[in-house]
């Protein structure tokens, strides 16, 4: 830790059972050497999540309290089964905690209905999955523009700005010729 300036020292928070180093944050440092982190984007308050495996209850997260601020880069480290995916599923509203609050951009998403969480996720949270989560009956282009269509961002006319943007982005990664 001595290699880091005082205001950029990684903060590591460990779960009470010490199975996983859940969060290591490195602040985004500006030209003046000061942190550019500002308002909280995500706040986890007394977050607890457990699963039942057979007759046993397994606690994955136990009273976790952490704040992620704008401008921070977050790294989750831990062995398989330590709760990394569970934490991400909770923050995204895919899963609900047993106890505690998950506040994203000022909205306590765990207090929203399932439909409200779905709409919030669709409008405010982006995902890059480890594995492809494509709809096999759609083309690559249709998969990329699906979220825009669900949010009313595509009119279906074919010359919409969202479709142009999707086409440009696909071209950048060399997929455009195979996308339609």
Q: Is the separation of the CB atoms in 154 and 146 below 8 Å?
A: no
The whole-angstrom separation of Cα 106 and Cα 44 is 11
Query: Containing domain of residue 113, as a range?
Result: 6-124
DSSP per-residue codes, 87-149: HHHHHTTSS--SEEEEEETTEEGGGS-HHHHHHHHHHH-----SS----TTS-HHHHHHHHHH
Together in a domain, 106 and 46: yes
| Residue 64 covered by a domain | yes
Together in a domain, 108 and 144: no
Together in a domain, 52 and 110: yes
pLDDT of res. 155:
55
Residue ranges of the chain whose pLDDT lies below 70? 1-37, 130, 153-169, 176-180
pLDDT of res. 89:
92
Number of domains in the chain: 2
Together in a domain, 173 and 84: no
| Residue 99 covered by a domain | yes
- Return the CATH number at 82: 3.40.50
Together in a domain, 25 and 89: yes
pLDDT of 107-159, one tens digit each? 999 999 999 999 999 888 877 776 777 888 988 778 777 777 777 766 555 44
């Amino acid at each position: 830790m001595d290699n880091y300036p005082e205001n950029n020292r990684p903060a590591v928070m460990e779960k009470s059972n010490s199975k996983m180093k859940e969060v290591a944050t490195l602040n985004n440092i500006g030209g003046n050497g000061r942190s550019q982190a500002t308002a909280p984007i995500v706040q986890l308050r007394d977050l607890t999540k457990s699963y039942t495996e057979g007759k046993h209850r397994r606690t994955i997260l136990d009273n976790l309290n952490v704040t992620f601020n704008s401008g921070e880069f977050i790294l989750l480290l831990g062995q398989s089964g330590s709760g990394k995916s569970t934490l991400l599923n909770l923050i995204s509203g895919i899963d609900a905690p047993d106890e505690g609050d998950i506040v994203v951009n000022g909205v306590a998403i765990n207090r929203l209905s399932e439909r409200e969480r779905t709409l919030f996720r669709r409008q405010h949270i982006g995902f890059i999955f480890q594995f492809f989560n494509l709809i096999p009956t759609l083309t690559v282009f249709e998969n990329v523009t699906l979220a825009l269509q669900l949010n009313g961002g595509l009119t279906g006319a074919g010359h919409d700005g969202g479709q142009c943007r999707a086409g440009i982005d696909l071209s950048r990664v060399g997929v455009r010729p195979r996308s339609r």
